[in-house]
Amino acid sequence: MSNVAKDRVRLWLRLLKVVRGLEQELRDTLRREHNTTLPRFDVMSALSRHPEGLKMSQLSGVLRVSNGNVTGIADRLSEEGLVERIPVPGDRRAMMLRLTPAGTAQFARQAQAHEDWINEKLRGISSEEARAMAARLQAFAAQTEEKEKANAQ
Amino acid sequence: MSNVAKDRVRLWLRLLKVVRGLEQELRDTLRREHNTTLPRFDVMSALSRHPEGLKMSQLSGVLRVSNGNVTGIADRLSEEGLVERIPVPGDRRAMMLRLTPAGTAQFARQAQAHEDWINEKLRGISSEEARAMAARLQAFAAQTEEKEKANAQ
DNA sequence: CCTAATTACTTCAAGCCTAAAATATTTATC
DNA sequence: GATAAATATTTTAGGCTTGAAGTAATTAGG
The nt closest to B90 (CA vs C1′) is D26
Which of A1-5, A73-77, A99-103 is predicted least confidently? A1-5
pLDDT at A149: 60
pLDDT at A2: 84
Please identify every stretch of chain B with a pLDDT value under 50, giving residue numbers as ranges: 153
Question: Nearest 5°: CA angle at A36, between A23 and A34?
Answer: 90
Q: CA nearest B119 in A: which residue?
A: A5
**What is the spatial distance between Cα B78 and Cα B98, in angstroms, rounded to a whole number?**
10
Partner B contacted by A33 (CB < 8 A): no
Task: With H, G, I as helix, E, B as strand and everything else as coil, classify residue B53.
Answer: coil
Q: Can you give the distance from the CA of residue B93 to the C1' of nucleotide D22 in angstroms?
A: 15
pLDDT at B134: 94
Count the Cβ atoms, other than its own, within 10 Å of residue B121. Answer: 19
Output B131 or A148, whichever has higher pLDDT.
Answer: B131
Residue A95: band (very low, low, confident or very high) from pLDDT cuts 50, 70, 90: very high
Query: Looking at the partner chain, which of B11, B119, B139 has a beta carbon nearest the beta carbon of A5?
Result: B119
Kindly state the percentage of chain A with pLDDT values over 70: 95
pLDDT at A148: 66
pLDDT at A151: 59
Kindly state the percentage of chain B with pLDDT values over 70: 95
pLDDT at B153: 42
- Interface contact flag, A18 B131, Cβ < 8 Å: no
Indicate the pairing of strand A83-88 with strand B54-55.
unpaired
CA distance B141 to chain A (A): 7
pLDDT at B147: 66
Sequence-separated (6 or more) residues with CB below 8 Å from residue A69: A39, A60
Q: Is the pLDDT of residue A54 over 80?
A: yes
Which of A120-124, A132-136, B46-50, B148-152 is predicted least confidently? B148-152
Helix A67-79 × helix A38-48 angle, to 10°? 90
Q: Is the pLDDT of residue A153 over 60?
A: no
Using a CB-CB cut-off of 8 Å, the residues of chain B touching A7 are 127, 130-131, 134
Q: Can you give the distance from the CA of residue A27 to the C1' of nucleotide D15 in angstroms?
A: 20
Label residues A12-47 b or e (16+ Cβ within 10 Å = b).
bebbbebbeebbeebeeebeeeeebeebbbbbbbbb
The nt closest to A36 (CA vs C1′) is C15
Using a CB-CB cut-off of 8 Å, the residues of chain B touching A15 are 15, 18-19, 133, 137
Residue A152: band (very low, low, confident or very high) from pLDDT cuts 50, 70, 90: low
